[in-house]
């Protein structure tokens, strides 16, 4: 161990050394250079990572695969197609109802000569019709909407007209999508957990005594995948893309619990029905809804207005089918 006296003497000698400050300055310069080198390397690494992310996740052509496992799927950008893993990823419909049991009805009240119970029955029939026409699994698979038609008044021409459109769909005014949501089972199947709905009903007296007018406004979201054995590759390896369709329907249904001339008791009469279909090929009229997958949408000529399909603040315009290019699905 060094003698403390010698150690102190050496420190005093070094303090008087004229080269001491220059040695300190040189040491500081070396430290600064090392820090700068480390910082530059880190900056280059970050720049390389940013370039990789842009190259692999956003700037490639739409028909080129995205980077595998770059992000967890729930964190993928909304511009990337949804997949069968998370068919409603990024959609505001994720938390909506999945079926009839979750569709609330307004509290019934007596209207004119109709009792509270009669109004409740009319509202229940209207909800049953909405479900049978747009949520029934068999109907979504392209089946005949028998229950929906059964709920309509057979004495009114609207039922026969809708049934004829189902038998012989075609332009200009024979499109079954005017009232029913069906997909061609040879081409598409509804993805698991791929159906959502939100909407509301209201009621008021009808145009004649003993009649109830029911106003319904519902938006349906469907996630579809190619029917087996075909599949649409997703944005990353080992994923399968889904196409989403947003269908909004505004209906006016008349209900009379008691029969009268030309009216069947307990049946519904569709007095007005409007629909807006987002991400549907409106040039094809065969009784089915035809969604675009991402590559198809990019290549297709879609001469329809770009609209937010979730905007429920305005009414659907009266007239023929309103086709839109959805700003989001």
pLDDT by residue, tens only, the chain of 329 residues? 555 555 455 555 655 555 556 665 666 666 666 665 555 554 444 444 444 444 455 454 444 455 555 678 888 888 889 999 999 999 999 999 987 778 899 999 999 999 999 999 999 999 999 999 999 999 999 999 999 999 999 999 999 999 999 999 987 778 999 999 999 999 999 999 999 999 999 999 998 999 999 999 999 999 999 999 999 999 888 899 999 999 999 999 999 998 777 889 999 999 999 999 999 998 899 999 999 999 999 998 888 889 999 999 999 998 877 888 899 88
CB distance 248 to 275 below 8 Å: yes
Full-model pTM: 0.79
Query: What does the domain layout of the chain look like in residue ranges?
Result: 4-57, 81-326
Round the CA-based radius of gyration of the chain to a whole number and report it: 33
Which is it for the CA torsion 112, 118, 119, 123, positive or negative?
negative
290 contacts 184 by C-beta, under 8 angstroms? yes
Check if the beta carbon of residue 309 is closer than 8 Å to that of residue 276: yes
- Extract the tokens encoding 158: 């609207």
C-alpha 325/C-alpha 292 separation (Å) is 10
């Amino acid at each position: 161990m060094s003698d403390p006296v010698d150690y102190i003497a050496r420190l005093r000698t070094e303090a008087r050394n004229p080269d001491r400050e220059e040695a300190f300055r040189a040491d500081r310069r070396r430290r600064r250079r090392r820090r700068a080198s480390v910082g530059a390397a880190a900056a280059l690494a970050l720049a390389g990572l940013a370039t990789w992310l842009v190259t692999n996740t956003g700037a490639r052509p739409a028909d080129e695969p995205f980077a595998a496992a770059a992000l967890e799927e729930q964190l993928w950008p909304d511009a990337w197609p949804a997949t069968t893993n998370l068919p409603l990823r990024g959609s505001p419909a994720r938390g909506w109802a999945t079926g009839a049991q979750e569709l609330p009805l307004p509290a019934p009240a007596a209207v004119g000569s109709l009792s509270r119970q009669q109004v409740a029955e009319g509202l229940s029939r209207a909800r049953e019709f909405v479900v049978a026409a747009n949520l029934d699994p068999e109907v979504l698979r392209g089946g005949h909407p028998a229950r929906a038609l059964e709920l309509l008044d057979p004495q009114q021409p609207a039922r026969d007209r809708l049934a004829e459109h189902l038998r012989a769909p075609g332009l200009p005014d024979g499109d079954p999508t005017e009232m029913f949501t069906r997909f061609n089972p040879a081409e598409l199947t509804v993805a698991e957990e791929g159906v959502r709905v939100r909407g509301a009903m209201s009621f008021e007296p009808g145009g004649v005594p003993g009649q109830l007018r029911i106003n319904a406004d519902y938006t349906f979201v469907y996630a579809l995948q190619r029917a087996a054995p075909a599949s649409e590759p997703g944005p990353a390896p080992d994923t399968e893309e889904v196409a989403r369709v947003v269908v909004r329907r505004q209906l006016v249904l008349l209900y009379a619990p008691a029969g009268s001339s030309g009216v069947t008791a307990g049946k519904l009469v569709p007095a007005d029905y409007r629909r807006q279909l987002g991400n549907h090929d409106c040039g094809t009229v065969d009784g089915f809804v035809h969604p675009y997958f991402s590559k198809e949408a990019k290549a297709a000529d879609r001469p329809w207005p770009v609209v937010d399909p979730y905007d429920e603040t305005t009414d659907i315009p009266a007239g023929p089918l309103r086709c839109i290019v959805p700003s989001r699905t």
